[in-house]
A and B are shown apart, each in its own frame.
Chain A
Amino acid sequence: MTRLRIAALFASLVLLTLALVGPATSQAPPPSPTPKAGGTLNLMLREDLPQGFAIHETATISTVWPAMPCLNNLVLFDPLKKTESVDTIIGELAEKWSWQDNYRNLVFFLRKGVKWHDGQPFTAKDVKFTFDMLREAPDAPAKLRINPRKDWYANVEAIEAPDSHTVVFRLKRPQPSFLMLLASGYTPVYAAHLSPASYRTGCVGTGPFKLKEWRKGEYVELVRNPEYFVKGRPYLDTLKYYVIVERGTRQAALQAGKLDVSFPGETTKTAAEHLKHVVPQLVVTPVSQNVSDNIIMNVTKPPFDNPKVRLAVSYAIDRRALVGAVHQGGAVVGASLAPKPWGFWGLGERDLVGLPGYAATPADEKAKAKRLMAEVGVTPEKPLRVEIVTRAIAIYVDMASFVINELKQVGIEASLKQIETAQWHPMATRGDYQIGANLTGIGPDDPDANFYENYGCGSPRNYSQYCSEELMRMVDAQSQELDPKKRLVMVYAIQRKLEAEAARPILDWKLDYFTVWPHVKNLIPHQSIYNFGRMQDVWTDR
């Protein structure tokens, strides 16, 4: 009798739950050809906004993704085109632009009648304020607390605002790809009448959506900006970003249809396959994250101050095996820029042949590594003992573990030291390590954004502290090259040099299996996760 009562109690609870749950989500209706206005798009965040909406003070997608809809750039990569290049750049706050003086002056003609969300008019003053602040001009009216992309603007000599709707960027030398940097999601325009610190707690932008509420640790809600300067946009009424820390819960919410879109850069091949298996109607798009797995070796400290040791490390690691074992095929091999078709500038499979670590027979590469190690006195009886550091996050640790196994085969005995996130970048910037397994994300798929930031002499993000004057001359030369074809050849040469010198051996480029429900329209993932979050053209066909 008692057992029956207990069973009845459990059954009642289950039935109660089921009754409250309601029916399962039904199949999505067939797509509609014309955009529909209205509705809410439910999106996920893996953590609360690290520094609010202050895009200029962070270098993480966790900020860019929910903040982009509130803000605007001068120019932006066309949200509706998957590939990012100079040809896919469209105007936002700039109606038109023009290169002058052989790509030394970039003139923007701004839209008129644009208003900030607080009603103030947008003018050239706001543009000058933002970019003087970013480049840390001596007379800049404001200063960012943290300025991760200052190096992007190193070539800007002056910014002038001859009238309220014209802005001129005067460059020290020609830099055609400067426009690419301005088109990144990392380059919004801030309001001059507000403190840059205000973006850490709120968001007054000119963007298609206005901030309604940010409930800390829970969600961010943005609503349609009825005064948006693009007529008829945005289509959606509301964007709601839910903070869900647990990855399993995020995936379950997407699977259940509570969320419409996956988080950029997060869905692995395995996860996408699972989602597709359980919900076949989900739309999965493999796309580049523009994030690479790489090895950082401190060139200022033994033993990696020896180029032979660095090269041996690069030869030792079988990139293709890494892609298969660690990413289950959800990554591609490449050098310091993402390869085609995932990126535009990277060396392809054929171009990689001959570079350390890319030979068809990994055993040959390991033999080369062993020979190099023997030259520096490392033998099986007398292995080289090093400590490999990595961030204490699964995606880092998995890669590091693979690398340790590879190094062991050429006489390098590496012990793993996991570094907590709080300590990772301070440690890497200070150079308090010998060798590390690292991930590097790049804003726009452009050589300038990558080379100056990650290989520039003295750049705080150049963790290996590799510095080559010859390389920097090559980087400057490609940056000034006006002919895209010639520039591509120069960029290839730089990548070969970087890999041949094992400056920062690139192991692979990770792919994202961006997943959306079929009712989500016009949300096109780009070749960089940082540039397609504006949401002004997105609509839902529920």
Chain B
Amino acid sequence: MKTYVAQRLTIAVLTLLGMSIVIFVLLRLAPGDIVDILFSTAGYVSPAEKQAIMKELGMDRPYWVQYLDWLRQIATFDLGKSYRYDLPAWQIIRPLLPVTLELAALSIVFAVLLGVPTGVISAVRQDSTLDYVLRVISLAGLSMPAFWLGMVIILALVTWFRWIPPLTYVSPMENLTLHAVQFLLPALAVGYRSSALIMRITRSSLLEVLREDYIRTAWAKGQSERAVVWRHALKNALLPVVTVIGIEFAFLIGGLVVTETVFNLPGVARFLVQAILWRDYPIVQNLVMVIAIVVILSNLLVDMLYGVLDPRVRYGG
């Protein structure tokens, strides 16, 4: 097990190194840079002044020097300074992380709470009216973009109750209730979409397992429906579901852009888009790396869970 984890972590480091090259190159390939944006806010460009700012920010150095400098910064846990804010990048990134992680986690919890039970019901009552209703609901979830649902929720609240969630982040220490409300609504909007996917995977996976011989044996032994479905079938049907949950969580870390924007939550995803628009390289590069680390870790966690769910899975070394 330890060897397996060590192997995975080694691969993770190599993946991150590859990621760093991709993100560094892609950012430089995008037209314009932070200096163009700065001039854009002033409505003109002066080549001489532009050159001076490039030098001030260290952007006049060769690309390979800038890249190695960034790697050195990562290795020394100094993520450099934001071009836009002139502040240490980590100081800006740090408060964003808990917001996005909490929203992603809460969304996944919602998704699992809604998706798994409905998937099971749908599979057990295959081709019944209930099954069709649940499938329509799930299809609606897949078809409905989370940002659209988010905007509908906001508009409904403001129209009917003349109320919208807080406009800035409310910490749980400050006001737990408001904090819960602030995260509950976007998590619902995002979780509904994810739940639809989980429901469909649960249903199809469970249907497959329910046709296995050992399930037929369990029925033949006279076991109750609850015991057959929940104890024997579901546990074995959960492997692909766990995979989907892991992928969804990883996707949500970077994919919450629009939801965070609509609900005005100061998270990683919303800030990342702003940083990209501003070509704030230190922020973008490091944020993407942070997201990559979370994705890699969540995948590793999912792989570890396989062993817990299925005793046949063994991690050699």
Q: Which residues of A contact B (CB under 8 A)?
A: 2-3, 6, 13, 16-18, 20-22, 24-25, 47-48, 50-52, 57-60, 62-63, 145-148, 197, 200-201, 215-219, 242, 244-246, 248-249, 252-253, 255-259, 278-279, 420-426, 429-430, 460-461
**From A278, which residue of chain B is reached at the shortest CB distance?**
B159
Known contacts A244-B167, A249-B263: A426-B39 contact under CB 8 Å: yes
Indicate if the CB atoms of B40 and A460 lie closer than 8 Å: no
11 pairs, CB–CB < 8 Å, chain A vs chain B? A2-B121, A21-B163, A22-B163, A48-B274, A50-B38, A145-B49, A248-B155, A420-B32, A421-B37, A422-B33, A424-B40
Interface string of B73-92 (1 = CB under 8 A from A): 00000000000011100001
Known contacts A258-B167, A421-B277: A248-B154 contact under CB 8 Å: yes
Known contacts A146-B49, A218-B266, A255-B158: A422-B43 contact under CB 8 Å: no
What residues of B have a CB within 8 angstroms of the CB of A58 in the complex? 41-42
Indicate if the CB atoms of A3 and B271 lie closer than 8 Å: no
Indicate if the CB atoms of A244 and B264 lie closer than 8 Å: yes
Indicate if the CB atoms of A258 and B37 lie closer than 8 Å: no
B289 is an interface residue with CB less than 8 A from chain A:
no
Task: Find B32's partner among A62, A279, A423 (CB 8 Å cutoff).
Answer: A423
Interface string of B140-174 (1 = CB under 8 A from A): 00000000000100110111011110011100000
| Smallest beta-carbon distance B76→chain A, Å | 23
What residues of A have a CB within 8 angstroms of the CB of B155 in the complex? 248, 252
Indicate if the CB atoms of B274 and A146 lie closer than 8 Å: no
A22 to B157, CA, bound (A): 11
Indicate if the CB atoms of B161 and A21 lie closer than 8 Å: yes
Indicate if the CB atoms of A217 and B271 lie closer than 8 Å: yes
**Residues B25-66 near A (CB distance < 8 A):** 31-33, 36-46, 49, 52-53, 56
Indicate if the CB atoms of B44 and A256 lie closer than 8 Å: no
Indicate if the CB atoms of B168 and A215 lie closer than 8 Å: yes
A200 to B38, CA, bound (A): 12
Best-buried of A16, A59, A425 by chain B (most CB within 10 Å): A425
Among the 9-residue stretches B101-109, B180-188, B223-231, B247-255, the one with 4 or more Cβ atoms under 8 Å from chain A is B180-188
Indicate if the CB atoms of B168 and A242 lie closer than 8 Å: yes
A295 to B32, CA, bound (A): 24
A229 to B44, CA, bound (A): 36
What residues of B have a CB within 8 angstroms of the CB of A51 in the complex? 38, 41
**From A430, which residue of chain B is reached at the shortest CB distance?**
B45
What residues of A have a CB within 8 angstroms of the CB of B44 in the complex? 148, 425, 429, 460-461
Indicate if the CB atoms of A17 and B45 lie closer than 8 Å: no
B262 is an interface residue with CB less than 8 A from chain A:
yes
Indicate if the CB atoms of A257 and B162 lie closer than 8 Å: yes
What residues of A have a CB within 8 angstroms of the CB of B162 in the complex? 24-25, 255-257, 279
B9 is an interface residue with CB less than 8 A from chain A:
no
What residues of B have a CB within 8 angstroms of the CB of A423 in the complex? 31-32, 36
Indicate if the CB atoms of A422 and B37 lie closer than 8 Å: yes
**From A214, which residue of chain B is reached at the shortest CB distance?**
B85
Known contacts A22-B163, A24-B162, A246-B264: A148-B32 contact under CB 8 Å: no
What residues of A have a CB within 8 angstroms of the CB of B117 in the complex? 2
**From B85, which residue of chain A is reached at the shortest CB distance?**
A216
Indicate if the CB atoms of B157 and A246 lie closer than 8 Å: no
Indicate if the CB atoms of B274 and A425 lie closer than 8 Å: no
What residues of B have a CB within 8 angstroms of the CB of A25 in the complex? 162-163
Indicate if the CB atoms of A258 and B164 lie closer than 8 Å: yes
Other contacts beyond A248-B155, A425-B44: 14, CB < 8 A: A2-B117, A20-B180, A24-B161, A25-B163, A51-B41, A60-B41, A216-B92, A217-B266, A248-B154, A421-B40, A425-B45, A426-B32, A429-B45, A430-B45
